[in-house]
Structure 1
Amino acid sequence: MGAEVVIEGLTKSFGKQTIWRDVTLTLPPGEVSVLLGPSGTGKSVFLKSMIGLLKPERGSCVINGVDIVTCSEHKLYDTRKMFGVLFQDGALFGSMNLYDNVAFPLREHTKKSESEIKRIVLEKLEMTGLSGAEKKLPGEISGGMRKRAGLARALVLDPEIILVDEPDSGLDPVRTTYISQLFIDVNAQIDATFLIVTHNINLARTVPDNIGMLFRKELVMFGPREVLLTSEEPVVKQFLNGTMDGPIGMSEEKDSAQMAAERAMFEAGHHAGGVEDVSGVPAQMQPTPGLPERQGVRRRKDRVMRILHTLPAEARETIIASLTPEEQRHYGVGPARQTARINNRGDVPPRHHSGQLPTDQVAQLPGAQWQAPPNRGQGST
């Protein structure tokens, strides 16, 4: 199973410019998470900070008891071996064929024989759909193939955590869907923890178990996908629909005068752009038939059902509706019962994710083994 990543109060600046501050979230082990946000909000900087390439000013990033922010260089070097990273353009060596590109980490960081390296490299190339292409140079293949080769290289050291930076960069919508399917398939096979940074709304709505969003130097929210996809937060709705109507502008945020001027323009009939009303929670992508089920799915359901009573009303309804009748009985919940509960209590503010219910109204988890981490601060679930 992939490693849990616990981030608390992480703050990063370049000189006097704060990139983001007090970011607190937990990446659950073996689950797929996505980080959204407008361009320039520091999403790639966040990935680099997680693996120690950049040093935050405050906070902690703890993996298997090691704080990446404060640990020694020796500890940092060892902990980095737990990571696999897929960069935006694949970051392949142009003078090496795909085989040597994928073999590079094994030759640099292990003492494996060439026969063992060959076995591993061919296995990872097959896993990413590149069997037979091992002799090709990066310049001889498509952008989608370069992405897959970069993923194969990220997998050769059997990482517990995989970081993916803008996987749709340079890809058309169809190839983006194929690479999205590949992430789900790899997660099903190795049960690693994924964090994907993306602007692609289709990927964000159909792939992850959890979604977070950075805006105005802060983490707007992070939690189960149903929370963000049903959120009424203006910045979240604007981003998911890709419209000009909302707080995000060309320079990340608008002032009140610009928002008022644009509002008058839209009310006068000018189209705000974007897609028309992307709402609701679509079905999540599943592993390709013939592959094992994702182990993270069951752990996620147990974890989410433990915190169900703390989530906003619409997210609760969506989560319960997604359960089979057997699962609803297993967890002791049902749509009618939940609707009555919502009517009696009212909604919970989406930023705070807090609330209490009588013990007999909290979802039951008979026989559940995975224990959710304690709540570590606002926005972490």
Structure 2
Amino acid sequence: MGAEVVIEGLTKSFGKQAIWRDVTLTLPPGEVSVMLGPSGTGKSVFLKSMIGLLKPDRGKCVINGVDIVTCSERKLYETRKLFGVLFQDGALFGSMNLYDNVAFPLREHTRKSETEIRKIVLEKLEMTGLSGAEKKLPGEISGGMRKRAGLARALVLDPEIILCDEPDSGLDPVRTAYLSQLLIDLNAQIDATILIVTHNINLARTVPDNIGMLFRKELVMFGPREVLLTSDEPVVEQFLNGRRLGPIGMSEEKDSAQMALEEAQAAAGHHDGSTEDVRGIVPQLQPTPGLPERKGVRRRKDRVMKILHTLPPAAQEGIISSLTPEERRRYGIPESAPDRPFAGAHRGELPPDDVATVPGSPWREPAPRPGSQHARPPRDRGRS
């Protein structure tokens, strides 16, 4: 299983220019997460800070007990081996063919023989659909193939964490769809923790288990995909629908006068750039038939059901409606229960009979019914 990444209060600036501040989130192990945000919000800087290429001003980034912000250079070098990184342009060496590009990390960081290296390189090229292209130079292949070659190189050290910086940039919608499926298939096969930075709304709606968004130097939100996809936050709604009307402007921040002008124009019938409201939960991509199920899906559902009562009503409704009959039985939700937010959800409270139970979970014991001879004192919920 991939490593968990715990980020607390991470802050970065260049001189007097603050990039983002007090970013706090946790990348759950073995799950796929996406980070959204307008151009210029520091998403690529965030990835570089996670692997120690840039040093944050303050905060923590803890991976397997190591805080890469404060650890020694030697420890940082070892921790970086847990990462595989797909850069925006693939970052391939132009004078090397694809085989040598993919083999480079193995030759640099291991003492494997050329026979072992060849076996690993050909395996990763096949995994990314590049079998037979190993002798080609980066300048002789398409942008989509360069992306896949960069991904193959990111996989050769069997990373626990994979970072993808705008993997869809420069690709047409069809190639982006293939790349999205490839990332899901990789997660099914190696169970790695994956973080994708993207502007592609279709990818963000169909691929990840969790979604976050950076805006105005802050992390607007990060959590289960259903929360952001049903959010009524103006910046989230504007970004998902790709419209001009909202807080995001040509520069990141839009002043009140510009917002008032655009609202007046929209009220007068001027088109704001959007075509339809794409908010709402759509089915998530599944692994290609024949591949194993994603282990992260079960872990994610267990985790989300534990915190279901704390989520917004629209997200609750989407999560419940997505459960299969078997999952409803697993979590103690009657199959006849309507797909609606639980009563009291806005207060973080649930009637005892409405609490979803997760097998083996320390979260909460099923409440005894009044008069039951099996009633017992309530369990200490300090761990909830």
Supply the AA of the counterpart residue of 1:111.
R
Supply the AA of the counterpart residue of 2:329.
R
Cα deviation, residue 357, structure 1: 2.7
Contact 2:316–2:340 (Cα < 8 Å) also in 1: no
Cα deviation, residue 124, structure 1: 0.3
Cα deviation, residue 326, structure 1: 1.4
Match of 2:149? 149
Using a 3 Å threshold, how does the CA distance of structure 1 residues 150 and 71 change in structure 2: closer, same or farther?
A: same
What do the CA deviations read for 1:266-294 (whole angstroms, capped 9, x no partner)? 11011000331112111101111111111
Match of 1:352? none
* 156-165 or 358-367, larger mean C-alpha shift: 358-367
Match of 1:363? 356
Q: In the TM superposition, what are the counterparts of 1:320-359 in structure 2 within 5 Å?
A: 320-334=320-334, 337=337, 342=342, 344-345=343-344, 347=346, 355-359=348-352
Match of 1:205? 205
Match of 1:375? none
Supply the AA of the counterpart residue of 2:356.
A
The total of aligned residue pairs comes to 363
Supply the AA of the counterpart residue of 1:241.
N
Gap regions ≥5 residues in structure 1: 349-354, 371-381
SS at match of 2:281: coil
Contact 2:316–2:341 (Cα < 8 Å) also in 1: no
Supply the AA of the counterpart residue of 2:8.
E
Contact 1:102–1:152 (Cα < 8 Å) also in 2: yes
What do the CA deviations read for 1:35-91 (whole angstroms, capped 9, x no partner)? 000000000000000000011111100000000100000000000000000000100
Cα deviation, residue 367, structure 1: 3.6
Contact 2:29–2:193 (Cα < 8 Å) also in 1: yes
SS at match of 2:11: strand
Supply the AA of the counterpart residue of 2:7.
I
Supply the AA of the counterpart residue of 1:297.
V
In 1, distance between residues paired with 2:70 and 2:12?
Answer: 14
Gap regions ≥5 residues in structure 2: 364-384
User: So what's the TM-score if we normalise by structure 2?
Assistant: 0.92
Match of 2:99? 99
Cα deviation, residue 347, structure 1: 3.6
Match of 1:279? 279
Match of 1:90? 90
User: So what's the TM-score if we normalise by structure 1?
Assistant: 0.93
Match of 1:351? none
Cα deviation, residue 369, structure 1: 9.7
Cα deviation, residue 255, structure 1: 1.1
Supply the AA of the counterpart residue of 1:267.
A
Match of 1:175? 175
Using a 3 Å threshold, how does the CA distance of structure 1 residues 247 and 110 change in structure 2: closer, same or farther?
A: same
If you compute each CA radius of gyration, which structure gives the higher value, 1 or 2? 2
Supply the AA of the counterpart residue of 1:284.
Q
Pick 1 or 2: higher relative contact order, CA cutoff 8 A, min separation 6.
1
SS at match of 1:248: coil
In 2, distance between residues paired with 1:323 and 1:131?
Answer: 38
What do the CA deviations read for 1:165-197 (whole angstroms, capped 9, x no partner)? 001111011100110100001111000000000
SS at match of 2:265: helix
Match of 1:373? none
Match of 1:110? 110
SS at match of 1:252: coil
Contact 1:320–1:334 (Cα < 8 Å) also in 2: no
In 1, distance between residues paired with 2:336 and 2:12?
Answer: 46
Supply the AA of the counterpart residue of 1:105.
P
Contact 2:331–2:359 (Cα < 8 Å) also in 1: yes
Supply the AA of the counterpart residue of 1:227.
V
Match of 2:21? 21
Match of 1:245? 245
Q: In the TM superposition, what are the counterparts of 1:217-228 in structure 2 within 5 Å?
A: 217-228=217-228
Calculate the aligned-residue CA RMSD, in Å.
1.6
In 1, distance between residues paired with 2:186 and 2:169?
Answer: 20
What do the CA deviations read for 1:237-273 (whole angstroms, capped 9, x no partner)? 0000000011000111211111011100011011000
Cα deviation, residue 356, structure 1: 3.1
SS at match of 1:157: coil
Using a 3 Å threshold, how does the CA distance of structure 1 residues 334 and 264 change in structure 2: closer, same or farther?
A: farther
Match of 2:36? 36
In 1, distance between residues paired with 2:146 and 2:244?
Answer: 33
Cα deviation, residue 338, structure 1: 6.4
Report percent identity of matched pairs: 82
In 1, distance between residues paired with 2:194 and 2:95?
Answer: 29
SS at match of 1:261: helix
In 2, distance between residues paired with 1:321 and 1:70?
Answer: 44
Contact 1:321–1:335 (Cα < 8 Å) also in 2: no
